[in-house]
Amino acid sequence: MRADEIHLSYTDPMTGQAPRHKRYREVQYVDIDGVVLVVHHYHRSRAPQWTAKPYMDHLSAEAYAAWVQHLSTQPGSGLVFAHIRRRDLLGQIAKEIGNEEWKRGRDAWLALPRDPQWSGPPYRVVRRAPKEWWGVPSDPTRHQPSGPWHSERAARAALGVQAA
């Protein structure tokens, strides 16, 4: 994957909603390989930095401790990125996708328990190739990825997911 193939979105793919406005703080999202990264940037900051971390709002309480334990035992596979420039942050993410550290971190992330009370949609619809749309589960321990479908509309209809 190349950096110019990564497209950030202002719509939260887990809920289908745009984030509430926060003064001088830009929040964007990207869904890569089943992991949703939340990209933060603070405008007009003395230390402008772009950061990307996994989406955590849907995790159960014990998942946080498991993630910290994973980070302490597997340095470098935390799916956390930071850079001063947006372009370089996207390049950093693109460079990591597919290597062993990414796979180890992704597998550990997807194995974390989700909050059973979380009321978001069970699937999010993502495009993985031309005319190839997939339903990626919000909780991989309960659902398997579904697809592909020839269009986003067909995928949403089959999965019963509302359009964002």
Domains of the chain, by residue range, sit at 3-118, 121-164
pLDDT number for residue 113: 87
Gap between the Cα atoms of 20 and 79, Å rounded: 24
Q: What is the mean pLDDT of residues 80-89?
A: 86
Q: What is the rounded average pLDDT for all residues in the chain? A: 84
Digit-coded pLDDT (tens) for 8-18: 888 888 887 77
| pLDDT bracket for residue 37 (50, 70, 90) | very high
| pLDDT bracket for residue 115 (50, 70, 90) | confident
| Total-model pTM | 0.80
Reduced DSSP (H G I as helix, E B as strand, rest coil) percent helix, strand, coil of the chain, to 5 = 30, 25, 45
Gap between the Cα atoms of 45 and 142, Å rounded: 41
pLDDT number for residue 149: 93
Copy the structure tokens of residue 76. 């470098």
